[in-house]
Structure 1
Amino acid sequence: MSARKVTFVEVGPRDGLQNEKTIISTADKLELIRRSIAAGARRIEVSSFVNPKRVPQMADAEDVCAGLPQTDEVSFIGLVLNAKGAERAIATGRLHELGAVCVSTDSFSIANQGQTSDESVVAAKAIVTMAKAAGLRGQATIGASFGCPFEGEVSEDRVVAMAAALAEAGPIEVALADTIGVADPAHVSRLVRRVVEAVSPLPVRVHFHNTRGTGIANVWAAVEAGASVVDAALGGLGGCPFAPGAAGNVSSEDVIYMLHRAGVETGMDLAQLIEANRWLSGVMSRALPSMVVKAPPFPKTVQE
């Protein structure tokens, strides 16, 4: 076991909601952020600064930022895909981190960002540089690290090379995203170990979707392999508008339950997450995909 403590990133307000067809109100997004903070989240992806015509759910990015609580205890993250998005995010004056994204294959990168894979790496490095110039932190994620919806298998060597290139820009971490949920624990273990070695001493973050039911196992494999930062979304919501078949993120509640039972510290409060899940289910008018909230509490003190 490589880590007894991981940093948890709540991505529900952005990745959890971005694919929902029913527009969620700005007030409810801010309430989701508030409840995430109450549950212990200290890094939260609050919105993305993308074309609202392509991702209507994120059209209120500036309004969400304007309503963020004033606190020095939480790092608010804005996802950006290009310089224009970065400029918008910086202009809010309310964010602490910019999250840049590049993509492992040309086909998906063109669908997602209108540029080739190599061009997306250059753009991501530029965004990290912009963030630092503005006094913010920059992070970089490699989308479709474990497989592409258009091209299929992705070379591990390709992903490792991209990670090393991103590290040159000095981000706070490099993240591997299983955007379409095709990874398996063996693949995760191999790739995370290689990327940890390639970008050391930078931390490696992981982002898994549970499209095929392997998400929670992949989180565990990643942590064992040296990943020290883990993304998840409250309730297991999520998906990508430009990745056919992509399903929800791993659930925050399920990830925290697993890690806490295994003795890994996260700083999160499971009981508060379960309560937030019930609130969010009401907002969404449906039960959410996460499993822990559907099971009896164990141990029973978890909800006392």
Structure 2
Amino acid sequence: MLRRLLSTKKSEFFKVVEVGPRDGLQNEKVFVPTEVKVELIDRLSDCNFKVVESTSFVSPKWIPQMRDQVEVINGIKKKSSVSYPVLVPNLAGLKNALATGSVEEIAVFGAASDSFSKKNVNANVEESLQKLCDVTSAALKEGIRVRGYVSCVVGCPYEGNIKPDIVAKVTEKLLEVGCYEVSLGDTIGVGTPGSVGKMLETVLKSAPAEKLAVHFHDTYGQALANVLVSIEKGIRVADSSLSGLGGCPYAKGATGNLATEDLLYMLDGLGFDTGVDLKEVIKTANWFNEKMGRTVKSRVGAAYKL
């Protein structure tokens, strides 16, 4: 496998989706000031990411960190070369997002676990999927692009191991209803190259690799290895979070998302072209961590000499 990966031509593009401002911050206990969020997104735009997930149109009652979603999405300096998707959980969230006049892309979020889905949105997988399809259809009618997420693709904090065929079914439905891409999320970070490889083999029987992305949490330190397996399967899109921000609150020992700096360093070493400036990403991470009094850093951010 490694020999094949190392033969990658430098011109082959790999899309890194930066999810720090949304997925990375949503569970932060200390409220991140709106102006800091806006500057963070603007700085990430200047790093040349193609996609910066910006905020979430959820009820402030459930996720207080996202209560300034309107101010954030209207405050950033948008670049035509960058997409700024926002997470939308339901039709009410879509309505609020559309009302800003600033949203051009949304993300919808489903799960491959009934227990996780019920805890998260008070609906089982089938019921949740129907709601996501309704939101997706409504968004597409308004000319809004839609990206899909499937969480718990390998393991669930309540059910344990997840059957790959369930992941495939949810993925296939999201693509069928019109999502341009589906991100497969190891929400609690329990996946290994073995379990992730088996899951992808099943999903790829009904969904093309070019329509898939991966989203790994690094709870057990397996995230980069899991990206490698995904690359071998033909996938060329991965989500990551600046400085490893984020992490599932339901995962024991959760350390956060795959750090963007670590992902970029590995992809560069494999010969992929991401278009992203690693040095600027590290500078942005250092700025944010200092601003918020954080000590969380990526391995590359801690070692790299600017």
Tell me whether the two structures share a fold, i.e. TM-score over 0.5: yes
8 A Cα contact 2:209 2:235, kept in partner:
no
Shift of 1:211: 1.0
Residue aligned with 2:248, SS: coil
| Match of residue 293 from structure 2 | 285
> Aligned AA for 1:82?
N
| 1:271 is the counterpart of 2:288 | no
8 A Cα contact 1:125 1:169, kept in partner:
yes
8 A Cα contact 1:146 1:182, kept in partner:
yes
8 A Cα contact 1:18 1:240, kept in partner:
no
In structure 2, distance between residues paired with 1:237 and 1:70: 23
CA-to-aligned-CA distance 1:249-296 (integer Å, 9 cap, x gap):
100100000001110111111100111111011122022231101114
**Count of residue pairs the alignment pairs up:** 298
In structure 1, distance between residues paired with 2:266 and 2:209: 26
| Match of residue 154 from structure 1 | 162
8 A Cα contact 2:188 2:250, kept in partner:
no
Shift of 1:245: 5.0
Shift of 1:146: 0.9
Residue aligned with 1:231, SS: strand
Any residues of structure 2 matched to 1:163-178 within 5 Å, and which? 163-178=171-186
8 A Cα contact 1:13 1:32, kept in partner:
yes
8 A Cα contact 1:204 1:226, kept in partner:
no
| Match of residue 18 from structure 1 | 26
In structure 1, distance between residues paired with 2:142 and 2:195: 37
| 1:108 is the counterpart of 2:108 | no
1:294–1:202 CA distance, 2 compared to 1 (3 A): closer
8 A Cα contact 1:65 1:95, kept in partner:
yes
| 1:139 is the counterpart of 2:140 | no
Shift of 1:247: 3.4
| 1:35 is the counterpart of 2:43 | yes
In structure 2, distance between residues paired with 1:202 and 1:224: 13
CA-to-aligned-CA distance 1:94-133 (integer Å, 9 cap, x gap):
1221100111111110111111111111122222212211
The one of 53, 59, 84 equivalent to 1:51 is 59
Shift of 1:239: 2.0
Output the TM-score relative to the length of structure 1. Answer: 0.93
| Match of residue 73 from structure 1 | 81
Residue aligned with 1:75, SS: coil
8 A Cα contact 2:189 2:218, kept in partner:
yes
> Aligned AA for 2:136?
V
> Aligned AA for 2:243?
G
1:296–1:36 CA distance, 2 compared to 1 (3 A): closer
> Aligned AA for 2:59?
N
Residue aligned with 1:249, SS: coil
In structure 2, distance between residues paired with 1:201 and 1:108: 26
> Aligned AA for 2:140?
K
In structure 2, distance between residues paired with 1:113 and 1:245: 24
> Aligned AA for 1:125?
C
CA-to-aligned-CA distance 1:178-211 (integer Å, 9 cap, x gap):
1110110122223223323312275101111111
When structure 1 is superposed on structure 2, of 169-178 and 233-242 the one drifting more is 233-242
Gaps in structure 1 of 5+ consecutive residues = 298-302
In structure 2, distance between residues paired with 1:125 and 1:165: 8
CA-to-aligned-CA distance 1:119-168 (integer Å, 9 cap, x gap):
11112222221221111101111111111011111001111111112221
The one of 204, 213, 227 equivalent to 2:221 is 213
> Aligned AA for 1:30?
V
